[in-house]
Amino acid sequence: MASDLRVFPCPACGETINSMAVQCPFCSAAVDPAAAEAAADALSKVNQACSDASYLRIVATCMLGFLVLRYIPFLGGTATIGFLGLLFAVPIMAVRWWVRFGSLPSADPEFVQARKIVLSVGATSIVFLLAVVALIVFFVTRGLQNHR
């Protein structure tokens, strides 16, 4: 872990500096090692949150792609399996993101944007999942009644 290049914004001038530095190379402010570690941790979490959020958006886009591909002959079966898999995966990923990063006290614009993406993707996918489950339940119960 110590070998990782860890960076954080200098509390005095805001430039990104190495957390191992004893002094900011930009403004010469003294660096408190404990504060630097904490700030570096927070920054790497924020970066992780942003990259996870953009990954989630890609996966959600794939889910919609599968939904379209279902109507293409020969691809339909595979696309349906992919769609159903992601139908469950996307809400789970969104909830996991929220548990890990939802309460990060970061005002970083990229992070705020990431949180918006996860919130909208998560909410949409959960509504979608519930709608599909409701449809399946509806057709199954109707099918059972017709066979009576």
CB of 8 to Zn ion, least distance (A): 11
Closest residue by Cα to residue 10 from 28, 2, 105, 1: 28
* Shorter beta-carbon distance to Zn ion: residue 18 or 48: 18
CB of 10 to Zn ion, least distance (A): 3
Closest residue by Cα to residue 125 from 75, 67, 70: 67
CB of 7 to Zn ion, least distance (A): 12
Range in contact with Zn ion (rule: CB under 5 A) among 9-17, 56-64, 110-118, 139-147: 9-17
Beta bridge partners of 8: 17
* Shorter beta-carbon distance to Zn ion: residue 26 or 139: 26
Instruction: Choose, by CB under 5 A, the member of 7, 24, 43, 53 that binds Zn ion.
Output: 24
Gyration radius from the chain CA atoms: 23
The answer to the question of residue 27 lying near Zn ion (CB under 5 A) is: yes
87 with 128: CB under 8 angstroms?
Answer: yes
CB of 27 to Zn ion, least distance (A): 3
The answer to the question of residue 35 lying near Zn ion (CB under 5 A) is: no
59 with 93: CB under 8 angstroms?
Answer: yes
Q: How many degrees, rounded to 5, is the angle at CA 31 between CA 113 and CA 23?
A: 110
Residues in contact with Zn ion by the rule CB under 5 A: 10, 12-13, 24, 26-27, 29
